[in-house]
Amino acid sequence: MGTVDKALGLLGLFSIEEPQWTVEAAASRTGIPTSTAYRYFRSLNEAGLITDFSAGRYVIGPAVIHLDRVARGTDPLVLAAQDAMDNLINRGPDRSVVILARIFDRRVMCVDQRRKGYHPLTISYERGRPMPLYRGSVSKIILAHLSPRLIVRCFHDDRIDIEEAGLGSDLKSFRRNLRLIRRAGYSVTHGEVDKGVIGIAAPILSPNGDVFACLSLVVAEETTPEGSIEKLVALVRKEALAVTASLGLMSDN
């Protein structure tokens, strides 16, 4: 592992669950010498990626906030999805939430969101929060389009999680269930991530033809008649296709 990889590995330690780190604790967690960790922390601090908050305890720095602002204003996926997200939230039922998500380190992460109504649904998906890959429509539609090699690796690494999510007890059934989702072109789930909600998701293709993201509409189970799901599925699929088309046009310019 190179110097840059090791420094980024230290930066990757910071999370909601563990927001503060000392050099010594980071060195102990990663197994690198304390003197090396000091050097990397100094570089990260000088770059503004971390900052010394109190008595040698470091937290995420202002440069990360700046980069988040840059991403919000320049991310091609976010820019390409603006009209589609607006259309979806405007045509969706009251209390709807629209999620734009992409794959991140074998998890899925919301990168943009829309909410509707005075009391929109409370859901676990938040911008920047990594979520499990095996539960919910957002995760399943992306999972179903991963490469065959990655699907095999996921099964071998996370077999228990996959079985508990009802996706298969062996590799053959796992592949079969993902193939059914892929052929359908959408995923609908009921209460798999948050109780009382229905998630409807459709894939978004990159200009290279890979599914790397999805568009999802989340609605309240108690106020959404089963008969309306088909219409909402068609709406989500239409807007996801519009995002794919927009990304293609952006890559051509």
Q: Which residues contact 80 (CB under 8 A, 6 or more apart)?
A: 243, 246, 247, 250
Average pLDDT of the segment spanning 183-208: 94
Q: Which residues contact 47 (CB under 8 A, 6 or more apart)?
A: 61, 63
Strands across the sheet containing 197-205: 130-131, 107-115, 97-104, 211-220, 197-205, 187-190
Fold classification of 75-252 is Beta-Lactamase (3.30.450)
Domain ranges of the chain: 3-65, 75-252
Is residue 202 over pLDDT 80?
yes
Q: 55-81 burial string, b = 16+ CB within 10 Å, else e? A: eeebebbeebeeeeeeeeeeeebbebb
d(Cα 163, Cα 181) in Å, to the nearest integer?
A: 16
- Rounded to two decimals, the pTM is 0.89
Predicted pLDDT of residue 115:
93
For 69-79, what is each residue's pLDDT tens digit?
999 999 999 99
Predicted pLDDT of residue 107:
93
Are 108 and 101 in contact, with CB atoms under 8 Å apart?
yes
For 105-131, what is each residue's pLDDT tens digit?
889 999 999 999 888 788 999 999 999
Counted residue by residue, the chain has a size of: 253
Average pLDDT of the segment spanning 214-240: 94
Is residue 253 over pLDDT 90?
no
Q: Which residues are 213's β-sheet partners?
A: 102, 204
Is residue 42 over pLDDT 60?
yes
Largest CA distance in the chain: 63
Q: Per-residue confidence at 11, pLDDT binned at 50, 70, 90?
A: very high
Are 63 and 47 in contact, with CB atoms under 8 Å apart?
yes
Predicted pLDDT of residue 194:
94
Are 186 and 65 in contact, with CB atoms under 8 Å apart?
no
- Element (DSSP H or E) covering residue 77: helix 76-91
Is residue 54 over pLDDT 90?
no
**Alpha-carbon 8 to chain mean position:** 20
Is residue 251 over pLDDT 70?
no
d(Cα 114, Cα 85) in Å, to the nearest integer?
A: 7
d(Cα 237, Cα 17) in Å, to the nearest integer?
A: 35
Predicted pLDDT of residue 85:
97
Predicted pLDDT of residue 2:
66
The residue type at 86:
D
Average pLDDT of the segment spanning 149-167: 95
Within 10 A of 217 (CB to CB), how many other CB atoms are there? 26
d(Cα 50, Cα 17) in Å, to the nearest integer?
A: 16
3-65: CATH number: 1.10.10.10
Predicted pLDDT of residue 207:
83
Predicted pLDDT of residue 214:
97
Percent of the chain, pLDDT > 90? 83
Predicted pLDDT of residue 225:
86
Predicted pLDDT of residue 6:
86
Percent of the chain, pLDDT > 70? 98
Q: Are strands 107-115 and 187-190 parallel, antiparallel or unpaired?
A: unpaired
Predicted pLDDT of residue 1:
56
